[in-house]
Structure 1
Amino acid sequence: MQRRLYPGRDFRRAQNIDELREMARRRLPNFSFEYVEGGADDEVTLRRNRSVFEGITLQPRTLVDVGQRDLGCHFFERPSSMPCLIGPTGFNGLLTDRGDWHLAQAATRAGIPFVLSNASTVAIEEIAAIDGVRAWMQIYLYRTRQHVADLVARCKALELEAIVVTTDSAILGNREWDRRNYSRPLKLDLRNALDVAAHPGWVWDVLVPHGVPRFKNLGNLLKPGQDSVKGAASAIGQELDATLSWQDIAWLRDLWPGKLIVKGLMHPDDAPQALKYGVDGVVLSNHGGRQLDGAVSAMEVLPGIVRQLKGRVSVFLDGGFRRGTDILKARLLGADGVFLGRAGLYGLAAGKGPGASHAIEILRSEMDRSLGLLGCSSLEELTPDLIHDPVWRGLAEAIRR
């Protein structure tokens, strides 16, 4: 009998993230799924983000008592149930109605932080009102700095823990497959318009309740009536600032008294700058393969940057995480935690909030099982000798010297 993924719609039957991905693909119209799925140019970096994990092989111990296992860790001295969190992803209102709210609820149920995207269709005030939520806010340093200052003021009023400033999108990447869905900017071509009509479940979920989703955190950045996903896209593009520099991080640091995290760092020469400008954390990221095609994966630069920053700045990363073992490999190479992007979105698209929770629990189960199979009871027991490859093991050992 030929192998195949579960072909139905019951997200609870999904065995892994790839199966949730297939359910999401079937439920969403093509243009919406392509926005989540696609990368830049030839998608070399998009593929590299996944293939890098195959080269890091593990060498487990045996005859070790692993009857009690604990995935718990700390981010900024506060506990997290496992070494991952839901990272910022925009336009989630095109996956399901109030998508970001559902994702935040899922993260809260799982006991991990949630980072709301600047390009969210749910207001940060609604997220902060969720009982027990650990909410962080992503921002872009747009040309209109008063908007940025106003958003920071909102975050201060809500007493949020952290701001995550994304720095790798000052120039928008070349996402050809996404653009092919449109006959002109923001106008779906006939094929995609008919495809939307062929997904009535999505139409009733996303478009019927409140119309085209509207941005809720862009405020004075947009003209009246241009706050819809369709109307705001061109305005946001014009606000991207190619002059962005570390001096702008200094400006933001003066405004924001909480934890400040810089997302998009990839070069080891940038690591000392994070220390110089007083940031509390960095996220190593190539933006999910959606910006510079041909860039290395965050996993490849992780050990070198951790070696420079370990103990002084928290180091996170994202890009291609689909298995619990992927997350454990990042911990072995020195990461404090992993930002989840597409993995959570596949669950959200397949089954709203419960689907997102299922995606998180799949990864939790895989991490717990793999931790035990490695012969470890906690994340602290993950040591370089568990890596088989000499090069990767050497990098992991260098971090601990």
Structure 2
Amino acid sequence: MRLNDCHNFHDFQTLARKRLPSPIYNYIAGGADDEVTLRANTSSFERCDLIPNVLRGVEDVDLSTTVMGQKIDLPVYLSPTALQRLFHHQGERATAAAAEKFGTMFGVSSLGTVSMEELAKKHSNPQVYQFYFHKDRGLNHAMMQKAKESGIKVMMLTVDSITGGNRERDLRTGFSIPFRLTVAGALQFAIKPMWGINYVTHEKFSLPQLDAHIDMKGDSLTIGRYFTEMLDPSMTWDDVEKMVAEWGGEFCLKGVMSVEDAKRAADIGCTGIVLSNHGGRQLDGSTTAFDQLDEIVQAVGDRIDVMIDGGVQRGTHVLKALAIGAKAVGLGRYYLFPLAAAGQAGIERAVGKLKEELVRDMRLMGCTSVNQLTRDMVKFK
């Protein structure tokens, strides 16, 4: 199987599985506990039907939208995800370049493997900086200041990860940073030598967002310990309100799922929220972002930009979310599997395929711009 044989999400996932050592593949693919929420993220879209209109004159389709003050050419963005250079040596450089080619927004994680400053200098498309809330308040301030100096306009605070989820696939393989592989996990690296060759022949793996502030090198601090020792589970709304005021610009909370929390986010001055269960990687058995979308849009959609992520595999999934009131839809595994399969070329093919689907599906819906997608165009079963 080659890149040209990939036509949908599942094809890219299959190609990534062939090319990655299984501990790394399972890190991307896996969820928490029994992975109930991971599966539900995609199946939730199947409980909603689209109701198309016809004879609307749909030759020209405009997919552009504005979210958190950023004008983007597609109603999807590449969500911030950690450790991308483990999946492919190009890492976030491939993600940023592919996003720029399609004129959309991309995110850089605190656990990113390329510095946000480098990407901000090189690319003109909007960049989101995703960060976590640390026990060290000075560190929180320093990280926000660094983002501001880099020219980043949108700050995204992840609020559903005050502790790491129970990802049993990783426990079985010994996946961690640095690697502490089981015998079975180590064998999987041995039978995929090209990954290892690429890993050792390119620049040394690092976490530049954190390296500037914390000693993440060697065995001093694994990712797991970072979550359990550095992050502050005592974080409250008062803490976030101070950060929103300090940032003084577009500020988004990622991981909001209840109507009450959505209202609170609007009350303290956030300009956006991402409804997200972290791709099913945190609280297994939790509801899906798509299932919460309608109620939250009705409650706060006129006060704050509502986005969702999780389980998106088709253009029709995006259209359903937009029709219900999402301003944009975040992609995670949708671009990570293509990244792992073929670097920048993989992401460009995947996003290009999604764009083709969106244009075709918009025409079939009788819409020429995303703001024509309305709540009366969907019906829940």
How does the TM-score come out when normalised to structure 2?
Answer: 0.95
Q: Deviations over 1:44-98 (max 9, x none)?
A: 1001001111111122222332111111111234321111101011011110113
Q: Aligned residue for 2:137?
A: 145
Query: CA 1:313–1:239 in 2, change beyond 3 Å: closer, same or farther?
Result: same
Q: Tell me the amino acid that sits aligned with residue 311 of structure 2.
A: G
Structure 2: which 5+ residue stretches go unaligned? none
Q: Aligned residue for 2:126?
A: 134
Matched, 1:22 2:38: no
1:274 and 1:175 map into 2 onto residues whose CA distance is: 29
Q: Contact 1:17/1:362 (CA < 8 Å) preserved in 2?
A: no
Structure 1: which 5+ residue stretches go unaligned? 1-7, 392-401
Q: 1:367 pairs with 358, 361, 370, which one?
A: 358
Q: 2:152 pairs with 147, 150, 160, which one?
A: 160
Matched, 1:309 2:323: no
SS of aligned partner of 1:129: helix
Q: Aligned residue for 2:253?
A: 262
Q: 1:54 pairs with 40, 46, 57, which one?
A: 46
SS of aligned partner of 1:57: strand
CA drift of 1:257 comes to 1.9
CA drift of 1:295 comes to 0.4
CA drift of 1:172 comes to 1.2
Q: Contact 1:167/1:264 (CA < 8 Å) preserved in 2?
A: yes
Q: Contact 2:325/2:375 (CA < 8 Å) preserved in 1?
A: no
1:244 and 1:231 map into 2 onto residues whose CA distance is: 22
Query: CA 1:168–1:110 in 2, change beyond 3 Å: closer, same or farther?
Result: same
1:322 and 1:102 map into 2 onto residues whose CA distance is: 20
Aligned 1:246-395 pairs, distance under 5 A: 246-389=237-380
Q: Aligned residue for 1:202?
A: 195
SS of aligned partner of 2:286: coil
SS of aligned partner of 2:161: coil
SS of aligned partner of 1:164: strand
Matched, 1:236 2:229: no
Aligned 1:53-202 pairs, distance under 5 A: 53-182=45-174, 186-202=179-195
2:379 and 2:282 map into 1 onto residues whose CA distance is: 32
Q: Contact 1:61/1:374 (CA < 8 Å) preserved in 2?
A: yes
Q: Contact 1:91/1:229 (CA < 8 Å) preserved in 2?
A: no
Q: How many residues align?
A: 379
SS of aligned partner of 1:159: coil
Q: Contact 2:80/2:128 (CA < 8 Å) preserved in 1?
A: no
Q: Tell me the amino acid that sits aligned with residue 280 of structure 2.
A: G
CA drift of 1:356 comes to 0.8
How does the TM-score come out when normalised to structure 1?
Answer: 0.90
CA drift of 1:243 comes to 0.7
Q: Deviations over 1:91-129 (max 9, x none)?
A: 111101130111011111110011101101111111111
Structure 1 vs Structure 2: percent identity of aligned residues?
34
Q: CA RMSD in A?
A: 1.8
2:83 and 2:221 map into 1 onto residues whose CA distance is: 13
